[in-house]
A and B are shown apart, each in its own frame.
Chain A
């Protein structure tokens, strides 16, 4: 058992939360990416987290990793706008299935989790430094 494993665990969580924040940024940026068919329309991306049970060289035992990034299966928003330059033959445009309110809540949750892990890291750092100072 390494004493510094705790820092790796927090770092892995911070990395996972950064990926989550990145997908949120991507979703928010593409909220108005309109397209004329359902295949080309941007779909909301969501990361799936997984606990690291058997760590490899680069990953700590325990900790968290991003297993995959899935695309939301919610239906796209079809809108009748025949005057829109992107409208198809029937006069419809497709909007991404990004839910802005959901993404905002997700962003707050991600940043809070990130902060929590920073706090854990700071406390652990102080304790490790005190352990090094032992007997001085």
Chain B
């Protein structure tokens, strides 16, 4: 029900939070030897996440049953970044690129929050009859 109210923004918010985590991980490992920088393929992740929200859930009558939610996770859209200047120690994190991507992602996340907020405000207004 909630998904039909928020539309694509709910899925977008989840993908953007996951992307923020991946980028933060890249920045945290900027000095780790042999670490390979990764990023989320946003287009693929969002289309899959949106399709997920329309897919119906399988009934779980026993707690050992596998949840159908886990069949597609954002891990599947994690791609390795192509470095422009790889370091000698095998690290492919380029801090300036990661910082720019992180900033971009946080602005997009703010925008998504803004959309969600206005949705909630609209529904509130409708409920109150203002």
| Binary flags per residue of B6-42, CB closer than 8 Å to A gives 1, else 0 | 0000000000011011101101111111010000000
A-side contacts of B22, CB under 8 Å: 62
Q: How many A-B residue pairs have CB under 8 A?
A: 87
| Binary flags per residue of B105-119, CB closer than 8 Å to A gives 1, else 0 | 010011001001100
Q: Across the interface, do B33 and A48 meet the contact criterion of CB distance under 8 Å?
A: yes
A-side contacts of B33, CB under 8 Å: 48-49
Comparing A2-10, A27-35, A75-83, A84-92, the segment that makes contact with chain B is A2-10
Chain A minimum-CB-distance residue to B117: A134
Q: Across the interface, do B113 and A131 meet the contact criterion of CB distance under 8 Å?
A: yes
A-side contacts of B27, CB under 8 Å: 10, 13, 116-117, 120
Q: Across the interface, do B28 and A9 meet the contact criterion of CB distance under 8 Å?
A: yes
Complex Cα–Cα for A47 and B54 (A): 49
A124 to chain B, nearest CB (A): 7
Complex Cα–Cα for A10 and B29 (A): 10
A-side contacts of B31, CB under 8 Å: 16-17, 20, 49, 64, 109-110, 113
Q: Across the interface, do B113 and A62 meet the contact criterion of CB distance under 8 Å?
A: no
On chain A, the number of residues with a Cβ less than 8 Å from chain B's Cβ atoms is 34
Query: Does B53 make an interface contact (CB < 8 A)?
Result: no
User: Do most interface residues of chain A lie in helix, strand or loop, or is the interface mixed?
Assistant: helix
With A3-B17, A9-B21: A117-B28 Cβ-Cβ less than 8 Å: yes
Q: Which of A12, A63, A109, A134 contacts B113 (CB 8 A)?
A: A134
Interface positions of A from 51 to 90, Cβ below 8 Å from B: 51, 62-64
Chain A interface residues toward B at CB < 8 A? 1, 3, 5-6, 9-10, 12-13, 16-17, 20, 48-51, 62-64, 109-110, 112-113, 116-117, 119-120, 123-124, 126-127, 130-131, 134-135
What are 22 A-B contacts defined by CB distance under 8 Å? A6-B17, A6-B20, A6-B21, A9-B28, A10-B27, A13-B29, A16-B28, A16-B31, A17-B31, A49-B29, A62-B22, A62-B24, A62-B28, A64-B29, A64-B31, A123-B106, A124-B20, A124-B106, A127-B109, A130-B113, A131-B113, A135-B121
Beyond the given pairs A63-B25, A64-B29, 5 more chain A to chain B contacts, judged by CB atoms under 8 angstroms and listed by A's residue number, are: A16-B31, A64-B31, A116-B95, A117-B27, A120-B27
